[in-house]
Chain A
Amino acid sequence: MKNRINFGIVVILLLLFSGCWAPKTILTTANITQPVLVGKVKTIGGKPIENSTLQVDTTFTATLQNSMYYYSAVYVYGHSIISQGSNLLDKQLLPLSDETSAMIVADQIRFKAVSGYWLFALYSANKGWIEGKKYTNKSNEPK
């Protein structure tokens, strides 16, 4: 009985502290071999260009989410970490960068952090979105 109580306390403590081990979500496109610009300045020394004045080829939304479950019911304890890895953003943006004339511009970066205790499980998730557009290089000449 004593061992069972001790085990129960350990499970509860693990559940309480597991919130501190919540995974981070890292938004990076380090493996893309061309600029992934943010903001209105497109070139070194260039002036700001309104994105709305440029010709849009396509719009994109690249998402990345890392989540974690720590569950405990009676004396059953376990955890599950689903990490999509930062390379996923590269995979989503890679098809846009296949043309040498393509210019990728991220207009906005949004993020969300959700955590809670749902049905005997501690849930934690961080999600990030990169919303942007692809232009052709020709249409991006500074005016």
Chain B
Amino acid sequence: MKTLIQIILKRFVISAILGYSILQISGCSSSKGALSFSALKYPTSMSAFLYDQNHNVVMKGKELEFLHSFDFKKTYWNLAYGSIPLTKGESISDTLNAIVEKYKGDGIINLTITIEQGVVNKIYSFFMYLPSYIPILPSSASITVSGEVVKLKNPASSYLFNENFKDVFIPKENISLKINEAIHENN
């Protein structure tokens, strides 16, 4: 009889430890996402440099004039430990395009992405992630996109890549070449 009680107790203790361990391992919350820049209309760089129309590297403080800094936040939601995305991998291009147009810039530099746990994940931590055992409860990741809107300092050079002035504006270094071409055509 004593042995039977001992066996039952032993099994109960082992089951309890195993059950608790499983609960400890499985309590997690995961969220993921991707940023797409497919519809960007303006050159955007993650460093302080851009290419001008002649593929020359131009930098902030020299050829590039700082106009305005910006930042905005986005939250990405997922279900079932991140396997079912609730927020589509939407492009942030439209937001970036609108920002450049608002400040009448030529591009964006120092684009920075900051990733952090979403509010929901932080709330779960107060409950030792017990809510995350229910896969239908969402998890979230929060990202902050920041950067600087810049403009080319030399306004004359901007005519070079404006379609309307393409044939009107002649760069200084090409004037002699154009004159020679005109003379050659007349002859």
Residues of A within 8 A of B (CB): 15-20, 22, 24-46, 48, 103, 106, 108-120, 122-124, 126-128, 130, 137, 140-141
A44 in contact with B115 (CB, 8 Å): no
* A119 surroundings in chain B (CB, below 8 A): 21, 24-25
In the complex the two chains form, is B47's CB within 8 Å of A24's CB?
A: no
Contacts of B128 in A (CB 8 A): 15-16, 117
With A and B bound together, what is the CA distance between A46 and B50 in angstroms?
A: 12
Give min CB distance, A120 to chain B, whole Å: 7
Stretch at the interface among B9-17, B32-40, B176-184: B32-40
Indicate whether A108 sits within 8 Å of B112 (C-beta atoms), given known contacts A44-B58, A114-B30.
no
Q: What's the least CB distance linking A76 to chain B, in Å?
A: 16
A/B pair count, beta carbons within 8 Å = 208
A51 CB → nearest B CB, Å: 10
User: Which residues 21-75 of B have a CB within 8 angstroms of A?
Assistant: 21, 24-25, 27-38, 40-53, 55, 57-58
Known interface pairs A38-B40, A45-B160, A126-B116. Does A113 touch B31 (Cβ–Cβ under 8 Å)? yes
Contact A141:B28 (CB < 8 A) given known A26-B112, A112-B141: no
Contact A41 B42 (CB under 8 A): yes
Give the one of A15, A18, A41, A130 with max B CB within 10 A.
Answer: A41
Closest beta carbon of chain A to B137's beta carbon, Å: 13
A115–B35 CB distance below 8 A: no
Complex CA–CA separation, A44 to B58 (angstroms): 10
Q: Which residues of chain B have C-beta atoms less than 8 A from A127's C-beta?
A: 115
A110-B33 CB under 8 A given contacts A39-B40, A117-B128, A124-B117: yes
Cβ contacts under 8 Å, B160 to chain A: 45
Please name the residue on chain A nearest to B106 by beta carbon: A44
Chain B residue with Cβ nearest A138 = B55
Tell me if A44 and B51 are in contact (CB < 8 A). yes
